[in-house]
Structure 1
Amino acid sequence: MAYSGGPMTEAMYYVLLALMNPNHGYQLMQAVTEVSNGRITMGPGTLYGVLSRMQKDSLISLAEDDGRRKTYRITPSGEQALRTEYTRLKAMIQDGSILEEGDVIE
């Protein structure tokens, strides 16, 4: 089953962002904290649930499995989905600029 698009969860977005460099589980939890500037800390349960779903959706793939740890990488379709989500989020920020301009919506 391929990813159907639409808004991503925050966890999905940051895992894909962190997987711009292949990583294994523990490193990945640290990388998510790093790319989110400390806003997101992800426990193993959340991480492995997200990884499993994203593997099924072909957003990520297994780069290496030495029996002890699995290293994941983002796929081309995963990178495209991440870039699409990034564009969507930027548009939302731009749309919200009315709040900074002090305009009142009536």
Structure 2
Amino acid sequence: MARGLAGRGETEIDLVALNEDEKVIRFGSCKRTASKLRPDLAAFDQHVERFLGSHKEYKGWTIEKAAIAPVLGDQAERQAIEARGYLPQDLRDLTQGL
């Protein structure tokens, strides 16, 4: 359940998902075009840090970050995103198993 998770000021995060039982928080950056994901990851890391700095209740939680676009077909791009510590996801990944 997300309660009062809106960022303050210049913090822009498209997705915040919580698993309170396992203390995992996942942040997602969404772009309409996959090619715009990777260039924005460094800036997104700053947004995540600002969020965590203002929400001390998540200190000690496992942090996950996802880079999301409608289509992420290029394996090299997926690997480059993973190398930055992000889970690359497209709509097919997000709806798998539904």
Per the normalisation by structure 2, the TM-score is 0.32
Relative to total residues, which structure has the larger strand share, 1 or 2?
2
Relative to total residues, which structure has the larger helix share, 1 or 2?
1
Which one has a bigger Cα radius of gyration? 1
Using CA pairs under 8 Å that are at least 6 residues apart, name the structure with larger relative contact order, 1 or 2.
1
Per the normalisation by structure 1, the TM-score is 0.30
